[in-house]
Structure 1
Amino acid sequence: MQHLRISPEGISSLFWIVPEDKPAYAIEPDDLDLSEELLDRIEVWNDVFDALFDSDDPKASQFPTPQAEAAWRAEGRALADAIREELGDEWEVEARF
């Protein structure tokens, strides 16, 4: 079974393949077999994170309001569910945010 992790770990690094015996590596959502509609939603969600991420001081990266963070996390969970559905049973999809 293939393992996909969705986890913000740097600008434009939200999607990771997690092999069983090797370190995780970043991938682009376009490398997955996903619909254009879902890829468009992922891009918007990713852009929100990229806009607030400070690569010079990652710990200082903050959402403007708690509501904005809650909305981003909720969309992330919804995206993880949609990705699971589209990729099927051959994939384990993990969300960490």
Structure 2
Amino acid sequence: MPKLLIAPEGVGEHLWIVPENKPPFPVEIEDLDLSEELMDRIEAWGDAFDAIYDPAHPAGSSFPSAEAEIVWRAEGQLIAAAIRDELDDDWEIETKF
């Protein structure tokens, strides 16, 4: 069963394929069979992360407020649910954010 990990790890790297017994590798949203609307949501969600991410100090990256982070995390969970709905039942979806 293919596994998709939703986990922002750097600018532009938000979705990962997780093969068995191999390290995860980033995947472009265009390479998944998702609707344009969902891809747009994923892009906007990823852009919100990219805007606060500091590659020189990843641990110091933070949202401007606790509320902004809560909203971002909630949207991430809604996106994960939408991906589950659109992808095959054969896919396993995991989140890490």
Decide: shared fold, TM above 0.5. yes
The number of aligned residues is 97
Q: Distance in 2 between matches of 1:82 and 1:11?
A: 22
Q: Which residue of 2 aligns with 1:24?
A: 24
Shift of 1:9: 1.0
Q: Secondary structure at the match of 1:69?
A: helix
TM-score, length-scaled by structure 2: 0.97
Identical-pair percentage: 56
Q: Secondary structure at the match of 2:9?
A: coil
TM-score, length-scaled by structure 1: 0.97
Q: Distance in 2 between matches of 1:46 and 1:70?
A: 15
In structure 1, list runs of 5 or more residues that go unmatched: none
Q: Secondary structure at the match of 1:7?
A: strand
Q: Which amino acid aligns with 1:26?
A: P
In structure 2, list runs of 5 or more residues that go unmatched: none
C-alpha RMSD over aligned residues: 0.6
1:46-57 map, 5 Å: 46-57=46-57
Q: Which residue of 2 aligns with 1:95?
A: 95
Q: Does 1:86 align with 2:75?
A: no
Q: Which amino acid aligns with 2:22?
A: K
- Greater percentage in strand: 2
Q: Which residue of 2 aligns with 1:11?
A: 11
Where does structure 1 differ by over 6 angstroms across 4 or more consecutive aligned residues?
none
Q: Which residue of 1 aligns with 2:45?
A: 45
